[in-house]
Amino acid sequence: MKNELMTKIDDTLDAKIRSLTGLVRKTDIVEDDVFIIGHPKSGHTWFQNLVAGVIYGVDLEYTPYAVIWDLVPEHNWPYFRRYSTPMFFKTHDIPKPKYRRVVYMLRDGRDVMVSFYHYSKVMRKQEGKKTDFMKIVQGQQGIYPYKKWHEHVEAWLANPFQAQMLVIKYEDLMRNTVEELQRFCEFMQTKRDPAFLKQVAEKAAFHKMREKEKRHGLGKPDWQRPDWPNWPKGKNFMRRGEIGSYKDEIPPEVLEVFLQDAGETLQKLGYL
Amino acid sequence: MKSERYRKVKLATMAKLREKIKSQVSALTGLAHHSEFVNEDVFIVGHPKSGTTWFQNLVAGVIYGVDPEYAPYALIRDLVPGHVQKYYKRYGTPTFFKSHHPPRPQYRRVIYLIRDGRDVMVSYFHHLRAGREKDIEFLNVVQGKDVPWPYKWHEHVEAWLSNPYQAQMLVIKYEDLKRDAVKELRRFCDFVGVARDEAFLQHVAQKASFENLRKKEISSGIAYPNWSTEQLFMRRGQIGSHKDEMPDDVLEVFMRDAGDTLRKLGYL
């Protein structure tokens, strides 16, 4: 339990930070704000870049990643700058009443597991921990505290708090980016012409984003979560970005266990 | 004796507290204190109302690839922070700062913006009137009295042109930027060592036109904490506005000080 003095110091510091920097607290969100949500490794980072391009008109070829993360910040960062209303946030959170407008990112759970395994391996290695693919699909070794893949997906598709929700499939976004961006613009009631969307889509293509990461790094801050390991330098966050990578990367026995849990959800979504 | 010791302890405690706040702000927000900058950083300097805000938009477009027509001023100010802001984020090195300061030994790379002092005075007068100095007299403005930056226009210009600390310096005239922005942006790119093609510069220049910046201000504000929203910051943006906006007596007083400088720069 915090004593009174500590609370007072925290409050003073918080007020000081806000007045010195003009930033606002992560809790200062409004109903119009939009949350880009999904199980980790479902294409959020890509979508953050697309939103920065479509909404704020940044040229992804020159705009550093660090700028993108400030324009479309992670919702768990303690402070952010409100550049516009709505603001767009990224989060992997489960449904909560505060999320009123949601873009839910969906990707074939098998590919998600492959990607999540590689991601978790890199993250956990920094803490000297080993990673077991089987435990990953069983939801026991992820670095996020949220549920198994199918639970995350089912929880959101049920939309228990009646958020305005747009579902975007990674695979559709991959095959026809412009069309999905058009759906996004309609959802947002924002007008952008197809030529513009095409330009943004091209600049956010996987190989372009990967090249940019190689040249300049990911620009992810290491300050927001002292308890959270940073993505290590020299590793590619943008790893493969393909549809169907599970086919050559998921061992049969791991796949079998995953399908016991996730089979129905995959079927329902047309992945099986 | 005792009170002297008390004073010392108090000062030391305050200093410690300030340090603590500085490090906490950085830890929680990722911002750096404005006293922390490096030799590679570039300072966009000029007397107030010489086009520094416009140039911030251009730099944000050319360097960071944002669209000046849509990028909110708050973002422009994060990308190219004013060097009076307490904290800023280092998105890259060099970081580009905007400043109205007289020469400083720490500023190693400088873009100095120059504009016809007579137009600067007209603009400055309107700017101050729209802000907090509602009752200010034009005659005082041209003499550098009651203004927030305590120097006369020609002093600022002469001080910078003499470049007392041998900064690397590129001088850009507002009027040239107005007439052929692409050409001046090309000089800027050469100076800072970035490669951008002609079409891109053309695109940025057009997006950062006075009309577009004005429209942006109308739709999403200027995001200056001290600016009242009753007037537009982007007021007129023309060459030669002194011709119909500067009373003869004010001009005369201004010319006594600034005449030589204006002549030297080819404005007369």
Distance CA A160, CA B25 (A): 37
- Confidence class of residue B53 from pLDDT cuts 50, 70 and 90? very high
**Which residues of chain A lie closer than 8 angstroms to B18, CB-CB?**
none
pLDDT in tens, B222-238: 777 677 767 788 888 88
Strand partners, B173: B114
Output phi, psi for B98, to 5 deg: -100, 140
pLDDT in tens, B10-47: 888 888 888 888 888 888 888 999 899 999 999 999 99
**B 122-141: CB under 8 A from A:** none
DSSP E strand boundaries for B63-124: 87-88, 96-99, 109-114
The mean pLDDT of A29-33, rounded to a whole number, is 96
Which residue did the predictor score with more confidence, A127 or B257?
A: B257
Q: Flag whether residue A175 sits within 8 Å of chain B, measured between CB atoms.
A: no
DSSP string computed for A182-225: HHHHHHHT----HHHHHHHHHHT-HHHHHHHHHHH-----SSS-
Q: Which amino acid is at A1?
A: M
pLDDT in tens, B165-193: 999 999 999 999 999 999 999 999 999 99
Lowest mean pLDDT among A23-32, B155-164, B215-224: B215-224
* Residue A73: pLDDT over 70: yes
- What are the C-alpha distances in Å from B39 to residues A15, B74, B107? 32, 26, 7
Cα atoms in the Cβ-side hemisphere of radius 13 Å centred on A80:
25
- Confidence class of residue B244 from pLDDT cuts 50, 70 and 90? confident
The mean pLDDT of B143-165, rounded to a whole number, is 93
Number of H helices, E strands in chain A: 12, 6
**Cross-chain residue pair B24–A57, CB shorter than 8 Å:** no
Q: How far is B226 from chain A (nearest CA, A)?
A: 13
Q: How far is A167 from chain B (nearest CA, A)?
A: 27
* Residue A190: per-residue pLDDT: 92
**Cross-chain residue pair A67–B74, CB shorter than 8 Å:** no
* Residue A227: per-residue pLDDT: 56
**Cross-chain residue pair A81–B74, CB shorter than 8 Å:** yes
* Residue B70: pLDDT over 60: yes
Q: Flag whether residue A84 sits within 8 Å of chain B, measured between CB atoms.
A: yes
Run of H or E including A24: strand A24-25
* Residue A1: pLDDT over 70: no
What is the overall mean pLDDT for chain B?
91
* Residue A2: pLDDT over 80: no
Q: Flag whether residue A194 sits within 8 Å of chain B, measured between CB atoms.
A: no
* Residue A222: per-residue pLDDT: 60
* Residue B221: per-residue pLDDT: 79
* Residue A232: per-residue pLDDT: 79
Q: How far is B92 from chain A (nearest CA, A)?
A: 8
Distance CA A124, CA B161 (A): 56
* Residue B166: per-residue pLDDT: 97
* Residue A215: pLDDT over 90: no
* Residue B120: per-residue pLDDT: 96
% of chain A beyond a pLDDT of 70: 95
Q: The pTM is what? A: 0.87
Of A57, A63, A221, the CB nearest to B70: A57
Task: For the beta carbon of residue B202, count every other beta carbon within 10 angstroms.
Answer: 13
Lowest mean pLDDT among A40-54, A250-264, B53-67, B128-142: B128-142
Q: Flag whether residue A221 sits within 8 Å of chain B, measured between CB atoms.
A: yes
Q: Flag whether residue A24 sits within 8 Å of chain B, measured between CB atoms.
A: no
pLDDT in tens, B86-113: 899 999 899 999 999 999 999 999 999 9
A46 in Cβ contact with A184 (< 8 Å)? no
- Confidence class of residue A228 from pLDDT cuts 50, 70 and 90? low
- What are the C-alpha distances in Å from B89 to residues A35, A57, A71, B80? 24, 20, 13, 9
Q: Which amino acid is at B254?
A: F
Helix (H, G, I), strand (E, B) or coil at A165: strand
The mean pLDDT of B152-161, rounded to a whole number, is 97
Strand partners, A24: A80
**Cross-chain residue pair B66–A223, CB shorter than 8 Å:** no
**Cross-chain residue pair A70–B72, CB shorter than 8 Å:** no
